Amino acid sequence: MSKLKKLLICIFNSIIVGPDTMPTAVFNILVLYNEPSTNVGAISEHLTAFKKYSRHNIQLVDSLAAEKLIPDLSPFDVVVLHNSVHFTRTSHLPKSLCEKITLYDGIKILFLQDEYREINRTAEQIRRLGIQIVFSTVNRDIGKEIYHHVFLENVQFEFILTGYASKALTGRKVPDYEDRTIDVSYRARKSPAWYGEFARQKWLIGERFEKDTDRYGLKCDISIKDVDRRYGEDWYNLVAGSKAVLGTEAGASFMDFTGEVQKQVEIYKTVNPQADFAKIQKRFLQGRDGKTVIRVISPRCFEAAALRTLMIMYEGEYSGILEPHKHYLPLARNHENMDEVVAVLRDPARAGEIIERAYREIACNPRFGYRAMVNQFERMIDIECQKLSKSNGYQTKRQAAVHLARWYDAAKLARKNTGLTRGIVYKHRLARGLQRMEERVHAKLAGFLPAGQKVLLSGFFGKLKIILKRILLQN
């Protein structure tokens, strides 16, 4: 929607808006996000979608830049905390900004992801900040199990997907199947053992599949090393240049409500670096791993469908969206059907049927597009606004002059934001470089130390990491 059209709607609604016509109002919405995270394509697309599809005036501001840019939140009708912001960490959301959000009396919305860690701390922060609407990516049927806290009973939880189909990727020109030089590609991070058995599948599929590549004469590009990770265009080019990609459902099977298990496992791994998953699971997760399982479709599924790349994946629910043999090629968890998988991979006609069906029914389906996500977002704002209107007349007496002043202030804010976020990205990269250096030094020194001193060394570098981030990332 053009700025001029938004402005005209804004003036119109400022004059005539009332409780019964509230859903047509145009609001100034502040979306706080983490700029360094936008190198991940799915995060960048998610943020861009707000500006692209919303009828409202959207301002995207880095949460650290907001410290200098926004002394007062009152010019905004709605404040949104994006899932790229670790909103329980002061390194992402400074205390002074938290105080402003707490005191802010407008609509406050939170987008969450990776909801298996420090759940109690997350719930407490939702209460402290006074969040009214939470967009969660967990399975709808286990939402109450995870967010069981009594003080959250008045918070509205909406359930959304972890990712959506991008129009930009759907319309992208990609190589024909036969012209792609890589048979199968995959990237995954070796997740910590405290994520549970379910999350372990993400990197096991890569390890097991790679062992069979020579036997079948496949040309693969598979890695679970951090140094081999790809982002943005590099990632899209890898997927589009591959006949197939591996995949699993996103999620975890252990819910760390207090964060204590994570700490204990990290200390144990420092002292016993060779300890395998089975040993850690028995020691720390016994009887609790698998009690509650988050199992949802991954954003990568939409990327692969849009780029017309065959998905070879462990069979699962995939949020009720993907069906085996129809949208993806199922791979047995013990890989016993590798012969069948490779036969389809080498048959352009059979592979093409699955690829085209996934492209047509998933990537091109409006239900799974970013516009659908934004529509859901706007519906919740309308509902919350109507609730507030009945109780305190929220936004029922907005004046055109005030709203025009807000519009021009927002334009100035956008210009200033650009310069500040560049500085924040630079500082973030420097902080990451120092962190990698610290990790290498820690790894070398740890080999010469007894168990007790390894824990002390780990604790020292942990504190040093926090201090470095605070120095480098402060405004």
| pLDDT for 143 | 94
Q: What is the pLDDT of residues 348-376, one digit of tens each?
A: 999 999 999 999 999 999 999 999 999 99
Q: For 373-420, what is each residue's pLDDT tens digit?
A: 999 999 999 998 887 765 555 554 333 444 544 554 655 666 566 666
pLDDT tops 90 at residue 460: no
**pLDDT, tens digit (0-9, with 9 covering 90-100), for 94-110:** 899 999 999 998 999 99
- pTM of this prediction? 0.81
Helix or strand or coil: residue 164? coil
Strand partners, 61: 32
211 or 457, greater pLDDT: 211
Give yes or no for residue 83 having a pLDDT over 90. yes
Distances (CA, A) of 148 to 49, 143, 257, 341: 31, 8, 11, 42
Are the beta carbons of 277 and 294 closer than 8 angstroms? no
Residues 289 and 196: beta-carbon distance below 8 Å? yes
Give 152-172 pLDDT, tens digit per residue: 999 999 999 999 999 999 999
pLDDT at 401: 40
Interval 226-255 mean pLDDT: 94
Residue recorded with tokens 């309308």 = 382
Q: Which residues contact 50 (CB under 8 A, 6 or more apart)?
A: 29, 31, 58, 60, 80, 374, 377
Say which range, 64-73, 364-373, 429-438, has the weakest mean pLDDT: 429-438
Closest-CA residue to 201 (of 189, 214, 183): 189
Spatial neighbors of 86 by CB under 8 A, at least 6 apart, are 34, 92, 93
Among 60-69, 237-246, 429-438, the range scoring the smallest mean pLDDT is: 429-438
Cα–Cα distance, 469 to 265 (Å, whole number) = 24
Residues 6+ apart with CB under 8 A from 335: 208, 209, 212
Range 44-70 burial, b when 16+ CB lie within 10 A, else e? bbbbbbbbebbbbbbbbbbbbbbbebb
Q: Are 203 and 189 in contact (CB under 8 A)?
A: yes
pLDDT tier at 434, thresholds 50, 70, 90: low
Portion of the chain with pLDDT greater than 90, in percent: 60
User: What's the pLDDT at 92?
Assistant: 87
In the predicted structure, residue 55 carries a pLDDT above the cut 60: yes
The chain-wide mean pLDDT, for the chain, equals: 85
The three-state secondary structure class of 152 is helix
Residue 365: phi and psi, rounded to 5, are -85, 120
pLDDT over 80 at 456, yes or no = no
Judged by average pLDDT, the poorest of 17-31, 330-344, 374-388 is 17-31
Q: How far apart are CA 81 and CA 34, in angstroms?
A: 10
Q: 1 pLDDT band (50/70/90 cuts)?
A: low
Q: Which residue has the tokens 């973030």?
A: 428
H helix or E strand, kind and range, residue 237: helix 232-240
Burial (CB < 10 A; 0-12, 13-18, 19+), residue 123, is: buried
Which ranges of 77-196 does DSSP label H, i.e. alpha helix? 95-103, 119-129, 143-146, 167-170
Collapsing DSSP to helix, strand or coil, 358 comes out as helix
In this prediction, residues 139-144 reach a mean pLDDT of: 94
